[in-house]
Amino acid sequence: MPDVTMDQIVSLCRRRGFVFPSSEIYGGLGSTYDYGHYGVLMKNNIRSLWLQAMVQERDDIVALDSAVILNPRVWEASGHVGGFVDPLVDCRTCKLRFRADQLDQASCGRKPSKRPGETPDCDLTEARQFNLMFKTQVGALEDESSVAYLRPETAQGIFVNFKNVLQLARRKPPFGIAQVGKSFRNEITPGNFLFRVREFEQMEMEFFVPPADAEQWYRYWIDQRFGWYLEYGLREENLRKREHSAQERSHYSSGTTDIEYRYPIGWQELEGVANRGDFDLTQHTQHSGTKLEFVGEGGERYTPYVIEPAVSIERIFVAMLVDAYHEEVVAERDRTVLRLHPAIAPVKAAVLPLIPRNGDMVEKARSLHGELRTSHVVEYDDGGQIGRRYRRQDEIGTPFAFTIDDQTLEDDTVTVRDRDSLAQERLPIGGVPAWLEEALTKRWRTPVA
């Protein structure tokens, strides 16, 4: 287990303005969160690195941004109206709700807390099926004909656009469609900070392949996605692949492998990679009457199989914070440091005048900051003692800090401090932009064993 608790992550996120409980001044809304400045920057980095790997660096995947509210028949065809359910039980005594299939992980509302059903006072109802989709109304009429749903996954927006992309983007299998966007699930038991929330940002890619090649592409995408996490700094000992048994797989899947991360709550699904076969295109063909198939130049036709890597930014965000979080003692002082991969870190560098009251230092620092910020998110900080400012940057994971001091005024050099090794070296101020550019593109691995 990583030696960090979820409480430490929650507390750092709050203290440094990464993430806050949502609508807090009204008492919050269970397991709903808002992202502050650093949280937004870090989320943007995760999203754009995913898009870079999925779309920018490939010839065979295109992007899509479909609507959140789709024709409700989409969700009938996909099986979500009938089958996107969790079994739920209520306790008539403590009025709490539990997932019937996870009672062994839940806590009863009474003190001292036990498992639901364990105390003589517990009075559990029979399990009933609870649909996780959020219902809404479209238009002014509030009747059955206006019922619609907030999408519980981005994938279906991709399937219903299969024909558009096939024709307009002139693609043929193997090719993929990638989408990033909000998904909504009325989870019975959200929790563990951002790990299970009701509103989250999914990143899904549907890869359409000839049926005979599906198994090979399934293995390929498991390895690609596993490698992506290593590239962006997660420690290999905290990652593993776990193949689902036939009983565990979703109705649409003929093979699913979870990439699991060792969260403080134990090994849990970070990302799922599924072989969805021809389930989705066949279902939408039958329900819509529009043939969703590939017709080759020689007239051969088939329904492609789909390989799907699917993940939420939230699960990556938590895994990366957990992996990066360290408390240590340096020169007899405590420091908390986020050893984030530089590409993930919300701020890439800090520019610090050693003596904030010295006008010449401030001027040079402002000028360097102005130059660097045209290419990267950099922060100027002149608040408080230099040691405190370094600690602040360590806590938000800033990999480099440039300090303007007396010597800068004499010879136009600055010190650069490395967050991980704490090494300091001197550089000519004019060389800083190029130095930073290179440092940010170097291969990075955590120095923590």
* Binding region for ligand GAP (CB under 6 A) out of 74-82, 195-203, 291-299, 400-408: 195-203
Please identify which residue in 39, 157, 162, 187 interacts with ligand GAP, judged by CB under 6 A.
187
Q: Which is nearer to ligand GAP, 200 or 402 (CB)?
A: 200
Please identify which residue in 255, 272, 353, 399 interacts with ligand GAP, judged by CB under 6 A.
272
Please identify which residue in 13, 166, 197, 416 interacts with ligand GAP, judged by CB under 6 A.
197
Taking the C-alpha atoms of residue 104 and residue 115, their distance in angstroms, rounded to an integer, is: 6
Please report, as residue ranges, which positions from 204 to 223 form the binding site for ligand GAP (by CB under 6 A): 204
310 binds ligand GAP (CB under 6 A): yes
77 binds ligand GAP (CB under 6 A): no
Indicate the residue whose CB is closest to ligand GAP. 312
Q: Which is nearer to ligand GAP, 242 or 388 (CB)?
A: 242
Please identify which residue in 171, 196, 284, 364 interacts with ligand GAP, judged by CB under 6 A.
196
Please identify which residue in 314, 323, 381, 405 interacts with ligand GAP, judged by CB under 6 A.
314
80 binds ligand GAP (CB under 6 A): no
Please identify which residue in 6, 133, 148, 155 interacts with ligand GAP, judged by CB under 6 A.
155
* Binding region for ligand GAP (CB under 6 A) out of 20-28, 265-273, 319-327, 424-432: 265-273
User: Contact positions toward ligand GAP, by CB under 6 A?
Assistant: 153, 155, 185, 187, 196-197, 200, 202, 204, 269, 271-272, 308, 310-312, 314-315
